[in-house]
Structure 1
Amino acid sequence: MERKKKRGAYVALSVLILAGLLLLIRSCAPQNIDSLLSENGIHPDQVMVVTPIDSRTHVVLYRNTTPDGVSSGLVEQELWSSRVTLPQDVLQDNPNEPISTHRSGYQMSDGKAFDVAYGYVHDPEITKLRLRYELNSSSEEVEADILEPSNMNQERLWYAIIQQPTTGIQLEIQGLDNGGRVIYSSQENED
């Protein structure tokens, strides 16, 4: 009889330990993106775009209220912790230009670095954006995503993830029409 009591105590203790471990693991799970952003002063109604870099890393474009404009942020979700990086820069939009643009660079916790370029497309004839740059004596090209106007913004927001840092590198933005013709080039407009 004494042996059965000991066995029962061991089983009960094992179940309690297992339940405690499950609760600990569950409490250490990554937070969702909305709650991470809210903790950093960005409310869900400010978020314009959330796009993944990988399964646990996301770039966020949001309406920044101080100063007024669009900003980007990086959300990294790890098993035991999460990190939000919010640079203090903001897109300075100029509606008189065909395209407004801003670039932010990020370095992830694993050491990888990348840039995010974003802005507004003001010219209604531009239906596609292509970003071109020279890196290590080869020409690279990235196509931007263009979002249609929404209740949050009246202009078409565009963004592109550039998988390597481009600090100090000339970035040419080309706007194409429906026929695929280049009707805007940032290099031509710099003169």
Structure 2
Amino acid sequence: MRLPGRYDGVARPIVTYGTDPVLHRPCAEVTDFDESLRRLLLDMFASMYAANGVGLAANQIGVDARVFVLDCPDADSHDVVGYVVNPVLTVLEPVGDEPAEELTEEGCLSVPGPYADLPRGFRARVDGVDITGRPLAIEATGMAARCLQHEVDHLDGIVYVDRLPEEERDRLLAQAAGPAGDLPA
């Protein structure tokens, strides 16, 4: 679901791993569908694009709200651009000869720099609502499905490095640029 109108948001700083508790706890459901939600989404798109990201959850800019944005290609190289408020994730069964999951390199704006191989479902769907509260769904494959899973993880208080073995997580955090590399996990 694309936002109507121009993307005239303001890029906000990205919260890095270990610097703000909002990144490490489940986010609150959105209950107010007003201009502040629209403004938040515009700022999230601006922040994601300014950081050269493909997805961004609200808590990555310090906001405790269950919403994410994405602009990410799927397995067929079609761009999946949109947002979901109050998303619920379902990892779907493969279709035809698709793999059930993929082991692919993953990174995160909140852990700037390093990447790690992480298994994710190849096909996923999120159901949620738009900025007016109307139901919407996004189904995706490949990298876009990975992005859906990654962003919903954020909204559940999980950063991708939390899914790695402790030793690998600690190594990646030590490599991270900025504050994430300076803090213990």
Q: TM-score, normalised by structure 2?
A: 0.26
Decide which structure has the larger Cα Rg and report it: 1
Query: What's the TM-score, normalizing by structure 1?
Result: 0.25
The answer to which structure has the higher helix fraction is 2
Higher relative contact order (CA 8 A, sep 6+): 2
Richer in strand (by share): 1
